[in-house]
Chains A and B, each alone.
Chain A
Amino acid sequence: MAEPVIRCRSLYKIFGLGPADLRVDSDGVVAPAILEREGVVAAVNDVTLDVSPGEILIVMGLSGSGKSTLVRCLSRLIEPTSGSVEIEGADLLAMNDRELIDLRRSKMGMVFQNFALLPHRTALENIAFPLQMRGMKRRDYVERARDMIRLVGLEGRENNFPRELSGGQQQRVGIARSLAVEPDIWFLDEPFSALDPLIRKEMQDEFLRLQSLLNKTIVFITHDFDEALKLADRIAIMFNGSVEQIGRPEDIVLSPATEYVARFTSDVPRERVLRVGSVMEPPGDDENVADQAVNVSDRIEKVVEYVLGQRLPVPVVDDGGAVVGVMHQAHVLKILFPRSSPPETVNPD
């Protein structure tokens, strides 16, 4: 596996405390007793995670769970209290102002929940802003910004001010601005939460389209589990500043690590999360199976109608066409509806 782009170890952010106030043991872990004694709550509490190149990591949690603080620690908009963050092997927390500015000008982009567009600049000028800060020549940055406008589909809106754009269009500008410097790392802080549901769906598709083109390393914050499931390669679930579980959507739904995660995932429509691979059983030897096979990486949502319509178990094949498993209808139903129970026996008297 490739070296992680972001590597974060035992990260803490405790508002109101400086690094000097903390006693950290050799693993970088702060004893909970210290927090209790000081009467403070850690906004980010002992977070350790890696983000691999080209991966979409979704950080998911309710408001106040520390997810926004975490992403700001990773971009050093907020100074972490203790722990370490490495960006492509370089120690982020040891950088001086100059290095930090250089890093942001070349490697990082960020999208904000309320768009954070500069009100006095047009769409084009907003997109060009990071390029201008970098000292690019006018001709070049205008050209590049026009490319970005095309990329996010805002042709014809170049000269509009933010107030003249709809929420969805504003966020397109925000996205274009964050991508203008061609960053490797892309932070998105609840980018679609302020949008209407329909626009949100449209923007999620747009996001996936962009990612298929650009293949960035992404940390994406959301409080919407459906959004997380739709976009994520991996999901980190945060609660009270700690990461409760981090893993692929299937793993989180099928084997929640904690009570909290279990509660969180209990209402998830499983057919939309799980793939055929996670509900199949090993192929039997001489079983009678249906004639048509399903692909191991299909979502259950897609194949469920066919599978449940068959009387025989359905074979599962991989991309090469080799049979890797078999789906039994009873098993599929059990996984999809874990909470259903047999009907109560009714006494006839």
Chain B
Amino acid sequence: MNQAFLHGLPPERRLKGYAWLGTILFALVMVKALGVLPGFLDELPQHLERSSIDTLGDAGKEKYTELVPFDLMLDRAFDYVREDLGFSVVTRFVSRRLKELIGVFDNILRGGNKGLGLSAPPWTALMVIAFVLGYSLKGWRLAFLSGGAVMYFAIFGLWKFAMETLALLAAAVPISIVIGLLVGILAYKRKWVELALLPILSVAQTLPHFAYLIPVVVFFGIGHQTGVIATIIFAVPPMVRLTLLGLQKVSPEILEAGKMSGCTSSQLLFRVQLPSARNELLLGVNQVIMQCLAMVVIAAFIGASGLGYRLLNKLQSLKLGQSLEIGVAIVLLAVVLDGLSRAWAEKKRDYTANLPFWKRFRYPILMVGMVSAAYVLSQYFPILHKVPRDLTVTYADTWDGLVDWIVLNWTDGLTNLRYFLIANVLAPLRDTLLYMPFSAVLLLVGGLGLILGGYYSALLTLAFLVFIGLVGWWDRAMITAYMVIFATAICIVVGIPVGIWSALSERRARTALFWCDTFQTFPSFIYILPVIMLFQVNDLSAIMAVIVYAIIPAVRYTVEGIRDIAPELEEAATMAGCNTRQRLVHLQLPVAIPHIMLGVNQTIMFAFSMVIIAAFVGTIDLGQQIFKALSETNIGKGVVLGLCVSFMALAVDHLVTRWARERRQLLGLD
């Protein structure tokens, strides 16, 4: 009983299982083709008519015929919490405090006559701070990158927006870290909190960015501080996860050593456990910063000002050149913050107690000196204080020209490609998925669950899909699924070979990993930019954006999987006289495949997250509906749609990681 519940078919019977599954599916589709499939097995009641799908742009006429009006129930529940329980008192309070906090940072960074009444610091002061920070943490490269980024903000006339974004981050990051730490510690101490949290964390990680925005807007209204709240909510889960992981990874011997040293339980926590979990915690801090930055850009949709808001404005008026410059600023900010926080996390602490004062504090002293110099100099040379508007640089026209050139010269080719893809690949794929009776899709996923992971997996994945069916978004979910499937397929076909090719030489592997790291720090919304520049706004651009974003993990995991094979195995293959091809086919791929599959899984997760953002450039799937819900501040609908995306992602995630884990065990890699 237990065996069948938690384990799939034994390997030798799998093939037969797949064959049976295929046969039944085929039979079901045949039955439908013959027109004898009963309606209740074919199509579910939906919000929107299926006919509305082909009339692009028109969202279709709404009707409420879903089986379970989950959205309305949620609406009522939220109403009850907000109005009857007086939750709005809390939200208003939080809102006000946050506004004050952001105000403080705003005043520091941009001047203003409140607070201490200081005027804005000269941009050169900030530049030297970034420079010295970069140098002290890592070296010249990071120093020039950080200083250069600050300079870029100043001379490209983006100073104000960059400082607004920084002020948002300065408020959101510490709060997220503290909340994440506290919740993580609580989950570590209380088993039931951990058990309750794990599913929430899973959903939180796969819930689309926009789905977070809707409840926040409903509870906190639109505005700058609302963006911070959404950002915090979005950035807390990874910190919780890493805190928990870090604490759980502390070796029992270290705990025992702490206890035998006579630690009380709070001494144990603060002086043994948390410091020993340092690596994970600092990784968590890095994650929080990156998540915050990604979300701060997206929070522009609900009125958070800063670089993201500016970008959104320029994008909506199709000023691509200016958008690009803002995009570069965001990317620079991301790369610098990632670089600084990572360098801080990896920094070896040196023991300095024996050094003289000036040596011990040489970086702070250097920083104070240079900042003072910047202040003094900027008194005499105003350009060092603030770059005046007429002196700022912009290459927007050049970029616009480039885009025009692309449109002029490439449009024909691209249009042809686009028509070809849509007519021959995309539309057929989409129509196939839509033609599939819903019962067939359920059968497919449940059957895979049963084969790979037993009844537990089957029931879990089925439950995810049944939810989508019941709430009435089946067709739209299938459209999301088709885009993800297509994008994933392209990512696999392109990304894995690229990964294999890179992994074959150490130098290429390092280059590939470096670029994967760099690209991964870019906030996902940024990927929309080049795609629009090349392909304009249409359905193909959305898929292109998804592919560009989601291909990163496919490459990275392939490189890692092949590179991390035990050296003895490689030596054994060499001594067995393998040539490069034999080594690849008989050693590297089979051993690396579980890790590569985890990469494919990440690719799928990335695709799900991007496909919703890509709704910005026009899709007709769940993402479009989430956007609509956001503009209508329709909380029930928005949350339900977000859950639909999340559940699809979780179902795939469950099946793939299950397979990969089993495979790793089979290979004895764990």
Q: Which residues of A contact B (CB under 8 A)?
A: 72, 75, 77, 97, 101-102, 104-105, 108-110, 112-122, 129-130, 132-134, 159, 161, 174, 177-178, 181, 187
Contacts and interface: CB of A to CB of B under 8 A. Distances in A.
Contacts, number: 75
A117 B253 CA distance: 9
Interface string B245-271: 000000101101111111111010001
A133 B263 contact: yes
B354 interface: yes
Interface of B: 251, 253-254, 256-265, 267, 271-272, 275-276, 278, 348-349, 351, 353-354
Given A120-B275, A134-B262, A177-B261, 11 more contacts: A77-B259, A114-B251, A114-B253, A116-B254, A116-B256, A118-B257, A118-B258, A119-B278, A133-B264, A161-B351, A174-B257
Given A119-B276, A159-B354, A113 B253 contact: yes
Contacts of B354: 159
A133 B261 contact: yes
A75 B260 contact: yes
Contact of B262 (A104, A113, A117, A120): A104
Chain B interface, DSSP helix/strand/loop, else mixed: helix
A112 B262 contact: no
Contacts of B272: 118
A206 to B, nearest CB: 20
A133 B349 contact: no
A187 B260 CA distance: 10
Pick the most buried of A110, A116, A117, A159: most chain B CB atoms within 10 A of its CB: A116
B610 to A, nearest CB: 38
A121 B351 CA distance: 9
Given A116-B251, A119-B276, A133 B256 contact: no
Contacts of A110: 256-257, 260
Nearest to A129: B261
Nearest to B268: A133
A333 B251 CA distance: 50
A165 B258 CA distance: 20
Pick the most buried of A72, A101, A113: most chain B CB atoms within 10 A of its CB: A101
A230 B67 CA distance: 79
Contacts of A122: 351
Nearest to B265: A97
Contacts of B259: 77, 104
A33 B261 CA distance: 39
A75 B258 CA distance: 13
B351 A109 contact: no
Contacts of A104: 259-262
B260 A159 contact: no
A145 B256 CA distance: 20
Nearest to A158: B351
Given A120-B276, A159-B351, A133 B267 contact: yes
Given A114-B251, A116-B251, A118-B272, A101 B263 contact: yes
Contacts of A133: 261-264, 267, 271
Contacts of A116: 251, 253-254, 256-257
Nearest to B259: A77
B257 A112 contact: yes
Nearest to A106: B262
A102 B262 contact: yes
Contact of A120 (B265, B278, B353): B278
20 contacts: A72-B256, A75-B260, A101-B262, A101-B264, A104-B260, A105-B262, A108-B260, A110-B256, A110-B257, A110-B260, A112-B253, A118-B258, A121-B275, A132-B271, A133-B262, A159-B351, A159-B354, A161-B351, A177-B257, A177-B261
Contacts of B258: 118
Contacts of B275: 118-121
A181 B262 CA distance: 10
A97 to B, nearest CB: 8
B458 to A, nearest CB: 31
Given A105-B262, A133-B261, A133-B263, A77 B256 contact: yes
A228 to B, nearest CB: 22
A121 B278 CA distance: 12
Given A72-B256, A77-B259, A113-B253, A120 B349 contact: yes
Contacts of B251: 114, 116
Nearest to A112: B253
Contacts of A181: 262
Contacts of B276: 118-120
A129 B263 CA distance: 9
Contacts of A187: 260
Contacts of B253: 112-116
A77 B256 CA distance: 7
A235 to B, nearest CB: 24
A159 B278 CA distance: 19
B256 A130 contact: no
Given A133-B267, A159-B354, A77 B260 contact: yes
A130 B256 CA distance: 12
B477 to A, nearest CB: 45
B272 to A, nearest CB: 6
A130 B349 contact: no
A110 B632 CA distance: 65
B351 A178 contact: no
B281 to A, nearest CB: 11
B260 A118 contact: no
Contacts of B263: 101, 133
A119 B275 CA distance: 8
Pick the most buried of B256, B267, B278: most chain A CB atoms within 10 A of its CB: B256
A310 to B, nearest CB: 53
Ranked nearest first, the 7 interchain pairs of A and B with the lowest CB-CB distance are: A105-B262, A130-B261, A116-B257, A116-B253, A159-B351, A110-B260, A104-B262
Contacts of A75: 260
Nearest to B264: A101
A75 B260 CA distance: 8
A112 B261 contact: no
A75 B262 CA distance: 11
A117 B275 CA distance: 12
A227 B276 CA distance: 32
A178 B256 CA distance: 12
